[in-house]
């Protein structure tokens, strides 16, 4: 079969695991060795910079990348994304080009040849040894055809840093979560990354520097992490300008007529919103309270399944938080990173019940900074939710603490400053250490 030679062909084929224009072929299976292409390094002569973003096919991982990508476009640079084929329409609807790369969420690749990868925890195995190889093989072909000057990855997507090192393309990461940004935790992924590097012909990396080597863009306030949290030497902090308008939803008209009582917004984000039972607990806890409850259940949810509700309860599929939160007094949520950052950016206290992934880490910071109350998963029942909401609304200290963090967030530099660092990284091709 003829190899595609144009980046548009990559999109049509849906698999970029073949090097299209590089002199070095990329093997799509087995112990493939990605080799450095000197022509790719020398291609860039000046602005604009061509930047390729890579992300898992999850809304919560895509949205933190969008403000940075838009700022790059506004600065005159050329942007594209790479993600699973089924997720590309979501990215394209926002206005970005998307190359199909990797596999869809919940899809596991076939068994790889050779000995099994080392075991260091199922979470890391899934992200690195299961999801990264198909992403690497597709990203390699995309890079050889489209010739990006920089790679920018979500911190959970490890394929880009492997391809970047093999192709001599600097790779930055966007930290969207407390757990993956902890420099100490790199030892938990050391064995998996060593296996990945060996599979693709890269030299050993005993200090596990590859994911953090050039630049880490942390869109969060520094003190959202505890005193033991270690940031890598290339971490720079920015204001989380949250993106949430990925569809055509607007602010409902009824918001303009909210009654003079506390408004509580409840959400399970985009990862956990399939938990119908948890939504029911929230409704049972708060529908009879002297407050207005706004519950969003996800674009695929059906408000009718919860039956008739009193006038103070509004169940919607999706409302952009940036539009709704200025009308709210409290957020009830699962402690997802973007969800919590949205609340704190608006100066809202939180009632959090961590369910999965890195949500317990974020909930722990909510408790430690007295930004609200935390309910353990085993205790998510109407009575505990009701008690926590009553307590936070009754104590103004929580709101004061949240507003203090809001002011710290507002004082941080925005995505435009991050663009300047990416431009510098492209020019210097050296790690940008924190001053």
Interhelix angle for 132-146 vs 190-199, to 10°?
Answer: 50
Residue 92: inside a domain: yes
- pLDDT tens column, 128-182: 888 999 999 999 999 999 999 999 999 989 999 999 999 999 999 998 765 556 6
213 CB contacts (<8 Å, ≥6 apart)?
161, 165, 171, 234, 431
Please report which residue ranges of 251-304 form alpha helices under DSSP H. 276-286
Tokens of 19: 């090097």
Residue 248: inside a domain: no
β-strand partners of 150: 51
Is 293 in the same domain as 216?
no
3-state secondary structure of 130: helix
What is the per-residue pLDDT for 43? 37
The range of the structural domain enclosing residue 356 comes to: 253-411
Is 338 in the same domain as 231?
no
Tokens of 40: 């790719």
Q: How far is CA 236 from CA 179, 307, 319, in A?
A: 16, 47, 31
Smallest CA-to-CA distance from 152 within 228, 220, 105, 82 is with 82
Contact call for residues 348 and 187 (beta carbons, < 8 A): no
Q: How far is CA 353 from CA 58, 169, 234, 320, 345, in A?
A: 21, 40, 32, 21, 19
What is the per-residue pLDDT for 31? 27
Dump the DSSP string for 324-362. Answer: HGGG-SEEEE---HHHHHHHHHTT--EEE---STTHHHH
Residue 314: inside a domain: yes
Residue 263: inside a domain: yes
DSSP designation for 103: -
Tokens of 136: 């690497």
User: With a cut of 50, which residues of the chain have pLDDT below it?
Assistant: 1-45, 108-121
Q: How far is CA 102 from CA 105, 159, 190, 246, in A?
A: 10, 9, 22, 22
Is 386 in the same domain as 307?
yes
Tokens of 76: 């005159």
Is 228 in the same domain as 299?
no
Residue 208: inside a domain: yes
Residue 435: inside a domain: no
Is 276 in the same domain as 217?
no
Separation between Cα atoms, residue 268 and residue 295, nearest integer Å: 9
Tokens of 118: 């080392």
DSSP designation for 243: -
Is 406 in the same domain as 424?
no
- pLDDT tens column, 359-390: 888 899 999 999 999 999 889 999 999 999 99
Residue 165: which CATH number?
3.40.50.2000
With vertex at residue 380, the alpha carbon angle to CA 374 and CA 383, rounded to the nearest 5 degrees, is 95
DSSP strand pairing (171-175 vs 150-154):
parallel
Separation between Cα atoms, residue 59 and residue 271, nearest integer Å: 8
Is 389 in the same domain as 423?
no
Tokens of 343: 């609340």
Is 110 in the same domain as 189?
yes
What is the per-residue pLDDT for 115? 37
- If one counts the domains in the chain, the total is 2
Is 12 in the same domain as 105?
yes
Q: Which helix (H) or strand (E) holds 150?
A: strand 150-154
Separation between Cα atoms, residue 256 and residue 249, nearest integer Å: 16
Residue 130: inside a domain: yes
Is 160 in the same domain as 282?
no
Residue 245: inside a domain: no
Is 25 in the same domain as 133?
yes
What is the per-residue pLDDT for 107? 59
Is 35 in the same domain as 158?
yes
What is the per-residue pLDDT for 60? 83
Instruction: Say whether pTM exceeds 0.85.
Output: no
């Amino acid at each position: 079969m003829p190899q595609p030679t144009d980046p548009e062909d990559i999109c049509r084929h849906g698999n970029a695991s073949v090097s299209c224009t590089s002199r070095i072929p990329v093997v799509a299976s087995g112990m493939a060795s990605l080799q450095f292409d000197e022509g790719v390094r020398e291609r860039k002569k000046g602005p604009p910079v061509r930047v390729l973003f890579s992300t898992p096919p999850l809304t919560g991982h895509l949205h933190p990348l969008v403000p940075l990508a838009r700022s790059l476009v506004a600065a005159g640079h050329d942007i594209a994304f790479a993600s699973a084929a089924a997720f590309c329409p979501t990215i394209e609807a926002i206005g970005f080009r998307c190359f199909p790369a990797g596999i869809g969420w919940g899809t596991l690749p076939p068994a790889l040849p050779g000995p099994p990868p080392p075991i260091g925890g199922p979470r890391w195995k899934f992200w690195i040894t299961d999801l990264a190889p198909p992403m690497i093989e597709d990203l390699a072909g995309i890079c050889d055809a489209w010739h990006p000057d920089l790679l920018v990855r979500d911190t959970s997507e490890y394929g880009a840093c492997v391809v970047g090192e093999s192709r001599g393309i600097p790779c930055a990461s966007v930290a969207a979560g407390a757990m993956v940004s902890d420099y100490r935790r790199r030892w938990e992924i050391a064995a998996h990354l060593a296996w990945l590097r060996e599979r693709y012909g890269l030299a050993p990396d005993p200090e596990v520097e590859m994911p953090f080597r050039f630049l880490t863009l942390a869109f969060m306030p520094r003190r959202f992490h505890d005193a033991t949290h270690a940031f890598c030497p290339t971490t720079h902090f920015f204001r989380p300008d949250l993106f949430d308008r990925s569809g055509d939803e607007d602010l409902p008209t009824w918001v303009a007529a909210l009654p003079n009582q506390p408004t509580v917004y409840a959400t399970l984000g985009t990862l956990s919103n399939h938990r119908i039972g948890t939504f029911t607990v929230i409704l049972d806890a708060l529908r009879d309270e002297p407050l207005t409850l706004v519950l969003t259940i996800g674009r695929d949810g059906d408000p009718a399944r919860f039956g008739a509700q009193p006038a103070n309860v509004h169940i919607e599929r999706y409302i952009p938080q940036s539009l709704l939160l200025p009308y709210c007094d409290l957020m009830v949520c699962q402690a997802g990173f973007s969800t919590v950052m949205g609340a704190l950016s608006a100066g809202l206290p939180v009632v959090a019940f961590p369910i999965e992934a890195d949500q317990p880490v974020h909930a722990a910071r909510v408790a430690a900074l007295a930004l609200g109350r935390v309910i353990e998963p085993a205790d998510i029942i109407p009575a505990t939710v009701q008690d926590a909401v009553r307590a936070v609304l009754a104590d103004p200290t929580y709101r004061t603490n949240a507003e203090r963090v809001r002011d710290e967030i507002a004082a941080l530099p925005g995505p435009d400053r991050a663009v300047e660092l990416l431009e510098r990284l492209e020019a210097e091709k050296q790690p940008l250490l924190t001053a």
